Structure 1
Amino acid sequence: MTSPLKLAPPFRADHIGSLKRPADLLQKRAEFDGQKCTAEELRKVEDKAIIDIVEMQRQVGIKSITDGEFRRHMFFDGVFDNLEGMKYLPEVPIDMFMDYVPDIDAFKQASFKCAASYICQGKLKRTKPFYKDQFEYLKSVTKPEEHHGIKITVCAPEWFHLRHGPFAYDKGVYGSDDEYFADIAQAYREEIKELYSLGCRNLQFDDPLLAYFCAESMIKGMVQKGVDHEALLNTYIRVYNDCLRDRPRDMNIGLHLCRGNYKDGRHFSEGGYDRIAIKLFNEIDVDCYYLEYDTERAGSFEPLRHLPKNKTVVLGLVTSKFPKLEDIEGLKKRVDQAAELIAQGDPKRTKAEALNQICISPQCGFASHAEGNPVSEEDVKKKLSLVAETAKQIWQDV
């Protein structure tokens, strides 16, 4: 079997980004949050944990190397908390969160009265790097031949906009969504340019919000609130393309969609990709899609018929939510089924060509927040080893 579409990532065996934090790192972060240790003391523990997790990825055969997001509390940290004009508010009233958003609905049902968030209260401007330090440290602890595979994961540009709707930005600062997103896109372009100059060739957007557009619950809630969900999806697609307008063509850009990954392995939405597949695969200027496919809540492989010939899909067949290992023969069978459907798509292609457009991974990270899912560090290693071994058995030359 031939190699993926281009020599750059994604790799046949990939993973989403976040990994289980070791106990000593969680303890030190709790000390830091409680003002019982310094930032430097925390960083030393982070550094060691990252060195160890990089070695684990090597051992299991994962070439798309991340730092496990060990310097973050939440997967989306890094962009809006570093963007001038965004204001951190520890207690945002719950009515400033849109209850048609599936995870917000879950929190409201839990009787949340308020929650911490970021609201735009000034002109948005990137005055400092978002992920430079994270990339440079990873580069310093990896080998030159591994540098092209280093993956940096970034927050979805519409993250706070969908969550807060009309409350996302001060109307005295921006008169329209287009004005608001123009400055966000400019910040992303600047970040991508700098990361590229440092040697980054593998960037992944983490975006559970796009998958929410597959959920009937959100669509119904938007209709009830008078929100044009089709127009909003189109807006977000334009935002992505504006963010990526000047992207270097030898920088792999991935887009990860899932349906939530909370503390107890909880998900927030259901629904196949059918509703958004044509736009997702054909209108967003990314190279690959990391798609949740570990349970029936993600629907069938049918939407993959719309995958163009020049893009790759990374099938998230292995769950990161629970420790039970999937059956390797079952995984191989599912990859075969996906290849059959892609081959029958529009345009048609041979099954060998279709198989060449597929990679595999877990369906999400193992710790979208610092506390992580109910899996151990050893469980994570076994899951990633399973992904790597499955890829070897399918493609042989991994």
Structure 2
Amino acid sequence: MTPRVAPPFRADHVGSLLRPQRLLDARDEHATGRIDDVELRKIEDEAISEVVAMQEEVGLSSATDGEFRRSSWHMDFLYQLDGVDKVEDANLKVQFHNTDGDIEFVTPDLRVHGRIGLSKTIFADAFTALSERVKTATPKLTIPSPGMLHYRGGRAAIDETVYPDLAEFRADLAAAYRAEVRALADLGCHYLQLDDTSLAYLNDPKQRAQLTARGDDAENAHLQTIELINDSLRGRPDTMSVTTHMCRGNFRSSWVAEGGYDFVAEALFNELDVNGFFLEFDDERSGTFAPLRFVPKGKVVVLGLVTTKRGELESKDDLKRRIEEASKYVDLDQLCLSPQCGFASTKDGNALTFEQEVAKLRLVVETAAEVWG
């Protein structure tokens, strides 16, 4: 069996990486006016050059900029869509859980105040800068799924005088994403990932109950998201591979939801028009591999078996055993390996060191080479 030459790769990763301290310090200094945009950009560029080199050195076939220019994996993108406002005097609060208790993620809320559109290509400069720095790897860009805009705020976050019918909202949102995808393809983006927590959250009955309480159709929300993503990707060029990443929350080594993929699996794997699925499978919160029985021929599953929430290194033998277990439900040739999520979905990062991050990425590469050649 040979390595994959098109994304997703046998050894891959979700995207976000731990920010170096000098970058975190620079962002703080920029926020308080002690350094200007030019100086911040210089420090970002230096940090990204180093982290791209690290990814290529460990042997990864894909490289990201670690999301180093962002504070949050999704909000930094969503705020830039036409018609979306950052609400500075109102906060979006999400409760995360870990083995020590609960913590709260707080970010300025968002509101859809006008028609959704795209006046400029979001993250265009970031992708171009990444492309200039890769030598051997395929540059990969990660952006939030369009489903995240509605999932975060629900009907209450969308002005009813602008969108009395949510079907119009979804149509405009999909059109904006189609324009974004075309523009990224024109820039040379051949590997795009749509990150969507909702498709994993909806497997948790508690999350579905929360959606029902706010007036959403929780039982069919995943079907609406699948339809929205497909509409957003309609007409994408054949040169672009698109994957989606689903996780149950990732903030300072904590999570939001739990439960296997059973609730969404059949529709997700058969109807979502992407090339591959990055799936969390690092602990019991993720359920069993049984839902993979619905994966059709021609689609790829990237098994997120290496956790980014702890620094302890997994056993190579344990990883191989779990890959073998997953291959009982979907052909081994349709499987790849990665960490279960990013290492730093926000600027804060998870509770592990840079050296531990590198060791985990190297473990993914080495294990994949031994499994698939």
TM-score band w.r.t. shorter chain? over 0.9
1:32 and 2:9 are equivalent in the alignment: no
1:60 and 2:52 are equivalent in the alignment: no
Deviations 1:20-71 (A, max 9, x none): 0001000001111122110111110000000000110011111111000000
- Mapping 1:235-274, distance limit 5 Å: 235-263=224-252, 265-274=253-262
3-state SS, counterpart of residue 304 of structure 1: helix
Letter in 1 for 2:350: N
Of the candidates 110, 135, 152, which is equivalent to residue 118 of structure 1? 110
1:49 and 2:47 are equivalent in the alignment: yes
Report the Cα distance in structure 1 between the residues aligned to 2:18 and 2:166, rounded to whole angstroms.
37
Matched residue, 1:213:
202
Report the Cα distance in structure 2 between the residues aligned to 1:371 and 1:243, rounded to whole angstroms.
30
* Distance apart, 1:196 and its partner CA: 0.7
Matched residue, 1:2:
2
Letter in 1 for 2:359: K
3-state SS, counterpart of residue 11 of structure 2: coil
Change (3 A) 1:25 1:225: closer
Of the candidates 144, 158, 164, which is equivalent to residue 169 of structure 1? 158
1:284 and 2:272 are equivalent in the alignment: yes
1:275 and 2:263 are equivalent in the alignment: yes
* Distance apart, 1:249 and its partner CA: 2.2
* Distance apart, 1:115 and its partner CA: 5.2
* Distance apart, 1:90 and its partner CA: 1.2
Computed over aligned residues only, the root mean square deviation of the Cα atoms, in angstroms, reads 2.0
* Distance apart, 1:135 and its partner CA: 1.0
The answer as to whether partners of 1:78 and 1:154 remain within 8 angstroms in 2 is: no
- Mapping 1:322-333, distance limit 5 Å: 322-333=310-321
3-state SS, counterpart of residue 229 of structure 1: coil
* Distance apart, 1:375 and its partner CA: 0.9
Letter in 2 for 1:131: F
Report the Cα distance in structure 1 between the residues aligned to 2:232 and 2:36, rounded to whole angstroms.
36
- Mapping 1:111-190, distance limit 5 Å: 116-143=108-135, 146=137, 149-190=138-179
Matched residue, 2:367:
390
3-state SS, counterpart of residue 262 of structure 2: helix
Letter in 2 for 1:259: R
Mean Cα deviation higher: 316-325 or 84-93: 84-93
Change (3 A) 1:134 1:225: closer
Report the Cα distance in structure 2 between the residues aligned to 1:224 and 1:128, rounded to whole angstroms.
36
Matched residue, 1:345:
none
- Gapped runs of 5+ residues in structure 1? 98-102, 343-353
Deviations 1:175-232 (A, max 9, x none): 2111111111111111111111111100001111110110011123344555321232
Q: Paired residues, what number?
A: 370
Of the candidates 321, 338, 343, which is equivalent to residue 361 of structure 1? 338
Deviations 1:140-182 (A, max 9, x none): 1123x53xx2100001212231121121211111121111111
- Mapping 1:335-354, distance limit 5 Å: 335-342=323-330, 354=331
Letter in 2 for 1:361: S
Report the Cα distance in structure 2 between the residues aligned to 1:230 and 1:367, rounded to whole angstroms.
31
Change (3 A) 1:30 1:126: same
Identical aligned residues as a percent: 42
Report the Cα distance in structure 2 between the residues aligned to 1:225 and 1:79, rounded to whole angstroms.
25
- Gapped runs of 5+ residues in structure 2? none
